[in-house]
Every structure is written in structure tokens, then in C-alpha cells.
Chain A
Amino acid sequence: MNAGPDVPGRVEITARALTSLARAVAAERLGAPAKRVRVGLGDASGALALDIESPVRLRDDLVGEATRAAGEIRDRVGALTGRRVGPTHIELTGIVHEHRSRVH
């Protein structure tokens, strides 16, 4: 990616950084702790392919919610990295139990 017409040099994002970013975005959206989210990156004919394995917060419509989440994660990762994000695959691996911590 070019830094711009006036600045020589380029900005590069490493694969590790992309992975952590996608993991953070997915964890935020799905309501799971980031360390339980696994993200694999791939290339689908030039577009970034996301492969997410994550538990999810308990909802009524889990599948519909996950599908919407996939679209939103894709848009968010695309917006943050400036890359074209293609197929986004979400694999639900479990339920996150929310323990309400009491704040006094």
C-alpha cells in the first residue's frame, strides 16, 4: 500500500497483525473472549478470506445472528485494514456464559 503521492515508502501490515485485528473484531462482535477466538486468514482469488472459530453469546436465533455477524465482521475488517475482504466463514464452537459481575 502506498503511503501517498508525497511520502516515499509504503505501509505494510503483517499477517500476524491482520490475524490479531480480525480476532479482536470477531471477539467484540460475537461477545466472546479474544483468547477463545481463532482466526485463519486466506486468499480467495485476491480477496482476504476470514475463517473464524469462536464461541458465541447465547441468543434466540444463533444462526441468523452469526450470519449477520459474519457480514459485519467482514465490513469492519475491510474498513480497518483497507483490504477487500471476501468469504467470511464462522464456525460456532460453543456458548459463552455471561457472569454478571456486581459493581458496588
Chain B
Amino acid sequence: MSNGSVERRIRRRSVHRSRSTAVSVSLGVLALVAAWIGTESVLHAVGAAPLLADPQTVVDAALRPDAAFVTVAEVVAGALVVLGVVLVVLALAPGRRHRSVVEHERGAVVIDTRILASTAANAAGLAAGVPEGNTSAAARGRRTEVRVVPVTGVPVDQETVRAAVRDRLAALDERFGKRVTVRVEEKGTLA
């Protein structure tokens, strides 16, 4: 694998989701709130009428709410909690996309995991001797799961299928073939 910093960057950016949208939206909201507080402070200092509401009154109302204001405060607080949780998850989760890095001497090679999954399903179908539609596969990270519906009366050896899928995926990149699980359904289809 080429280890140039540009390639490494490109690989990382292709496999992981960008956080710039979340960052710019929350920075925009922050800037708006800061601008509002600044405006209200200036208006209060010169003794003019508040633009929306006096920040001091807002804080007082929030700290000692009367009966009518309690529900509004609860709704606002709930929305803020949800927003906060979403932002924390966005910040901490790896944000992987359905793509995988393939080793290559030159350049950064990134493939969609659906290619891995359909390659695995194809190899499994050939090994098990079942039509294409009887196999399905899901690839996630390094893990590949294959499901085989056998043809009625034709026994399918799970280990053979596993070995075939492993070999085929290893031909793409040796890391993909390491964690392959094969599930053979008990009930088959007639044709």
C-alpha cells in the first residue's frame, strides 16, 4: 500500500463520513445566538427597547417559571437534549461509509462494500451449486456474512462454501477473507 500522506488522506476521507455539515450548522447557530446576545446587550446599555426579549428576563423566566411557561421550558429542554445527543454521536462515532480500502502499490483504491458482498455471494453460489438468487451476502468492515438457501435434495457443505468465499475475497485483498461466516438455511427451494 502506498503510504504517501495524500493517499492516506484520500483513503481516510473516502471511507469515513465528513463531519463538516454538522460542524458548520452548529457553528452557524452559535454565531446567531452570540450576535443576538451582543445586540441585546448594546440595546440594553443605550436604554433602547429590546429587539426580541431582554436576555435577563429570559433567564429569570427560565429559572423561576410560572405555570404556563413550564411546558414551554420542558419542550425546549427536550429538544436541546436530543440535539446534544445527536451532536455527541456524530462527533464520537467513526462515521464509516459502505466502502473499503484495497491495497494497491499506486494511488488510493477504495471499493464499495456491495462489490465485496456480491463477489462473496457469487463465489458461494458457485461453490454450493445453487442459482445466483439463492445466495445473499452482507459485508461490513472486514466481516462478510453469506446466506445460502440450498436447492432441495442437494446438500451444501458449509465449510466448502466458506473456503470458496474466503479464497475469492482473498484474491481481492487478503484482509477481506479473514472473517467469513456462512449460514446454510435448513429449508431449500425446489428449483
Q: Which residues of A contact B (CB under 8 A)?
A: 1-2, 10, 12-15, 18, 41-43, 45-48, 78, 81-86
Q: Which residues of B contact A13 (CB under 8 A)?
A: 191
Knowing A1-B151, A85-B153 touch, does A45 contact B187 (C-beta < 8 A)? Answer: yes
Q: Does B152 contact A (CB under 8 A)?
A: yes
Knowing A1-B151, A48-B152, A83-B152 touch, does A43 contact B189 (C-beta < 8 A)? Answer: yes
Query: Which residues from 142 to 191 on chain B have a C-beta closer than 8 Å to any C-beta of chain A?
Result: 150-155, 186-191
Q: Provide a sorted-by-A list of 20 A–B residue pairs whose CB atoms are within 8 angstroms.
A: A1-B129, A1-B154, A12-B191, A13-B191, A14-B191, A15-B190, A15-B191, A41-B152, A42-B152, A43-B190, A45-B187, A46-B152, A46-B188, A48-B153, A81-B153, A82-B154, A83-B152, A84-B154, A84-B155, A85-B153
Instruction: Tell me the minimal C-beta distance from A23 to chain B in angstroms.
Output: 15
Option from B131, B152, B189, B191 in Cβ contact (under 8 Å) with A47: B152
Option from A12, A14, A46 in Cβ contact (under 8 Å) with B155: A46
Q: Does B27 contact A (CB under 8 A)?
A: no
Knowing A48-B152, A83-B154, A84-B154 touch, does A2 contact B129 (C-beta < 8 A)? Answer: yes
Q: Does B30 contact A (CB under 8 A)?
A: no
Q: Does B126 contact A (CB under 8 A)?
A: yes
Q: Which residues of A contact B190 (CB under 8 A)?
A: 15, 18, 41, 43, 48
Q: Which residues of A contact B152 (CB under 8 A)?
A: 41-43, 46-48, 83
Main secondary structure on A side of the interface with B: mixed
Query: Which residues from 97 to 140 on chain B have a C-beta closer than 8 Å to any C-beta of chain A?
Result: 126, 129, 131
| Nearest-neighbor residue (CB-CB) of A48 within chain B | B153
- Bound Cα distance A33, B180 (Å): 51
> Could you list 14 further interchain pairs (A-B, Cβ under 8 angstroms) beyond the known A13-B191, A41-B190, A84-B154?
A1-B151, A2-B129, A14-B191, A15-B190, A18-B190, A18-B191, A43-B187, A43-B189, A45-B187, A46-B153, A46-B188, A83-B151, A83-B153, A85-B153
Q: Which residues of A contact B191 (CB under 8 A)?
A: 12-15, 18
Option from B126, B129, B131, B186 in Cβ contact (under 8 Å) with A46: B186
Q: Which residues of B contact A46 (CB under 8 A)?
A: 150, 152-153, 155, 186-188
Q: Which residues of B contact A85 (CB under 8 A)?
A: 153
Q: Which residues of B contact A2 (CB under 8 A)?
A: 126, 129
| Nearest-neighbor residue (CB-CB) of B132 within chain A | A10
Q: Which residues of A contact B189 (CB under 8 A)?
A: 43
Contact status A12-B187, CB under 8 Å: no
| Nearest-neighbor residue (CB-CB) of A43 within chain B | B152
Knowing A10-B129, A10-B131 touch, does A84 contact B187 (C-beta < 8 A)? Answer: no
